[in-house]
């Protein structure tokens, strides 16, 4: 009867929940996430730049972020 009660309760206490992933793996996962945040892909950086500039973002809704970035930031205008 105790086993059926244990399976009917979907929640477990905090101590048992933290036992699923060992602490060293959690720290390793956190450090890997930090590395991924620092080393963003070029197209992701371009998209973020475009999102920060409202006219570029509006253009991106119609033509896509790659085209919008090229339109607003692709070539330097010296005129």
Q: Provide the pLDDT for residue 18.
A: 65
Residue 25 falls within a domain, yes or no? yes
Residue 2 falls within a domain, yes or no? no
Q: Provide the pLDDT for residue 43.
A: 87
Please write the tens of the pLDDT for every residue from 25-71.
Answer: 777 877 887 777 777 888 888 898 999 999 999 999 999 999 999 99
Is residue 4 pLDDT above 60, yes or no?
no
Q: Provide the pLDDT for residue 57.
A: 94
> Same domain, yes or no, for 23 and 50?
no
Total number of domains constituting the chain: 2
> Same domain, yes or no, for 36 and 46?
no
Report pTM. Answer: 0.49
Q: Provide the pLDDT for residue 78.
A: 52
Residue 4 falls within a domain, yes or no? no
How buried is residue 10: exposed, middle or buried, by Cβ count under 10 Å (0-12/13-18/19+)?
A: exposed
Token readout for 38 is 């620092």
Domain extent, residue 64, equals 41-78
């Amino acid at each position: 009867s105790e086993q059926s009660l244990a399976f009917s309760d979907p929640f477990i206490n905090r101590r048992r929940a933290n036992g699923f992933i060992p602490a060293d793996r959690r720290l390793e996962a956190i450090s890997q996430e930090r590395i991924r945040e620092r080393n963003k892909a070029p197209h992701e950086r371009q998209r973020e730049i475009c999102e920060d500039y409202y006219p570029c973002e509006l253009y991106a809704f119609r033509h896509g972020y790659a085209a919008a970035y090229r339109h607003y930031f692709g070539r330097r205008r010296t005129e």
